Amino acid sequence: MKTDHNKQIPAFEVHDLTVAFDKKPVLWNIDLQIPQGKLVGIIGPNGAGKSTLIKASMGLLPISSGYVKILNEPIDEVRQHVSYVPQRESVDWDFPASVMDVVLMGRYTQAGMFRPLRQADKDIATDCLKQVGMLQFADRQISQLSGGQQQRTFLARALAQQADLYFMDEPFAGVDAATEKTIIGLLRSITDSGKTVLVVHHDLQSVQQYFDWVILLNTRLIASGAVTEAFTSELLKETYGGKLSILSEVGNLIRRESFPNRETTLP
């Protein structure tokens, strides 16, 4: 792609984006830009439009108004450069496929759906399984995996695609601490190479440690910016509104200020 080495071009930009279901807006007039090479947390209460933002950006949901650009192009022009990891609950895990089969699906975006995969594709898939600690399960049926193993398999498939921008919808949901540590380490290595990762995320305690950029959403955009600027008590209160249980959690976080969490051993 011509844009790969031009860091001045935003990785992801949204202009005047509105998405509505039954004439009720789920996202309203969203405007934002994300620089390349950022690890981005998409934060907000349930029903705030976080997953909708990803799905609309991927062209999986109709847009009522506005537009999305990825690396300065419409999604259909750069789809092979974009990887999407959906929520684990939305996948039919009874589908008869092995772990290796699933990871190789990530190579079809590069090879073309009807072109046979080469040994080089299989080597890439094998390397990606090694990175997520799942190589020994390569021949196992996906229905036999634990939740954490399923998520690692999805991550390996995304890595195998060798995309420039990754959308991940709650990759830490229902996984153990070791898997969470593996995932965040890999996401950091992806962004260290100049690629961009956007993650729908719920655990406020880990936001400051995991991400260098946040998008705060509650139907409308509350803030988009560096964590040091946008992850503040005022903006969090505006994002979560009158949800008292969340507000008390936010208050506790702000009082602690250091935002400690169990992943303090991460590099």
Please state the pTM of the whole predicted model: 0.85
State pLDDT tens for residues 26-64: 999 999 999 999 999 999 998 899 999 999 999 999 999
pLDDT at 98: 92
| Residue 139 reports pLDDT greater than 70 | yes
Q: Dig out the tokens for 166 from the structure.
A: 């990754």
What amino acid is encoded at 223 in this protein? A
Dihedral of the CA atoms 20, 21, 23, 25 (nearest 10)?
Answer: -40
| Residue 258 reports pLDDT greater than 80 | no
Side-chain-side CA neighbours of residue 79 (13 Å): 9
pLDDT at 151: 87
Q: Dig out the tokens for 156 from the structure.
A: 């390996």
Q: Which helix (H) or strand (E) holds 20?
A: strand 12-21
State pLDDT tens for residues 203-217: 898 999 999 999 999
Domains and CATH numbers, the chain: 12-256 (3.40.50.300)
Phi, psi of 116 (to 5 degrees): -65, 145
Q: Dig out the tokens for 205 from the structure.
A: 């305690």
pLDDT at 113: 58
Query: Considering only CA atoms, which of 223, 229, 192, 193 is closest in space to residue 208?
Result: 229
Q: Dig out the tokens for 255 from the structure.
A: 């009082």
57/99 Cα distance (integer angstroms): 27
- Alpha helix ranges (H) inside 112-215: 119-131, 147-161, 177-192, 207-210
74/115 Cα distance (integer angstroms): 25
| Residue 3 reports pLDDT greater than 60 | no
